[in-house]
Amino acid sequence: MFRPDTLSLALALWLVGLAATAQTAPVGHSAPRSVVLTGKAGEAPLIFLAPGIVTVLLLDAPLVREAVELEGRARFSVVDVGERTVTLSPAVALGPAERLALRVTYREGIPSSAVFLLTGQPGQRDEVVNVLRPQQSGEACRVELAALRGQCEAQRQELEALKARPAALSPAAFMLAGGMDGSGIQGKDLNDACSKVRGTLHLQGCEVLGAATWSLMVFEVSNTADEPWSPAWAEVIPVAGGAPRRARAVLSGQPILSSGASTRVAVELEMPMRKSEARLTEPHTLRVCNGDGSRCLSIPNVKL
């Protein structure tokens, strides 16, 4: 049996051993830390990496995954980009003086991108880094909204320009569609009719073409008003009486005609089948209008 003093000594030695073991045990995982981006020029937070350690950057918004750029990609054994994460692990240690750039781009918000500098430091490593952006102020939101509206307007104008571009049509396809017969196309000068137009839209170079099943009026228009004008639709009204008929197509060299600008406009009208002698004989009033019809160009005595 242990004597009381022997038992006390053994217990004391056991407790001392536990304390020594606790003091010499290796340090566990590093604590997560947070990085708050300010968007200031030249901002590039340091991220500490170590071989065999996986470092995860947790971002507070979705990334453009295909836009992530990593300098020295071949030096990493793990590179994975998620919807809101970037996971890295170097194959070899990075020196304390090394700085490898990691650039990420956000899908939305300000700042729109961020640069991190990857480095190494003995005894220091990051395992989880929370990357945060500050809450946007009302003014920042307004700036971002204005930029998005500008992008949308540019895309709208590009779409309008594509819509205004005439479709390619070969002579063979044109004939098969019945657009012209053996008698060909007749043409007439319409500058006399265009000279009678009054208002802020001035015309010149007016002419009309007629074939078996269609008529086409072409003219150059100048916008002398302060506000822009965009020809969107047209109609013809028979002088002899009858209901207005919408044009089949209105094509413009410029989708939006700003103040002082000029462009060519073509108005295509579907006509009933007719012989050559009946073409370009019936007088009409031609109206070419913007989208809501608030501003129209009216040309009298157009023979279609």
Q: Quote the CA–CA distance of 164 and 157 in Å, as a whole number.
A: 10
Q: Report pTM.
A: 0.43
State the DSSP string of 230-269. ---EEEEEETTS---EE-SEEEESSSSB-TT-EEEEEEEE
Calculate Rg over the CA atoms of the chain.
38
Q: Quote the CA–CA distance of 189 and 44 in Å, as a whole number.
A: 68
DSSP helix/strand/coil, 140:
helix
| Per-residue model confidence (pLDDT) at position 234 | 93
Nearest alpha-carbon partner for 93 in 51, 47, 125 = 51
Q: Quote the CA–CA distance of 232 and 292 in Å, as a whole number.
A: 9
| Per-residue model confidence (pLDDT) at position 10 | 40
Task: Tell me the residue type at 182.
Answer: G
Question: Per residue of the chain (304 residues), what is the pLDDT tens digit?
Answer: 444 444 443 443 343 343 433 333 334 567 899 999 988 888 999 999 999 999 999 999 999 999 999 999 999 999 999 999 999 999 999 999 999 999 999 988 888 899 999 999 998 999 999 999 877 666 666 776 777 787 787 778 777 766 665 555 555 555 555 566 666 788 888 888 888 888 899 998 899 988 888 888 999 999 999 999 999 999 999 998 888 999 988 988 888 888 899 999 999 988 888 888 888 888 899 999 998 888 999 998 898 8
Give the number of residues written for the chain.
304
| Per-residue model confidence (pLDDT) at position 30 | 77
Q: Quote the CA–CA distance of 238 and 286 in Å, as a whole number.
A: 9
Do 276 and 186 touch, CB atoms closer than 8 A?
yes
b or e along 101-117 (b: 16 or more beta carbons within 10 Å of the residue's beta carbon)?
A: ebebebeeebeeebebe
| Per-residue model confidence (pLDDT) at position 137 | 65
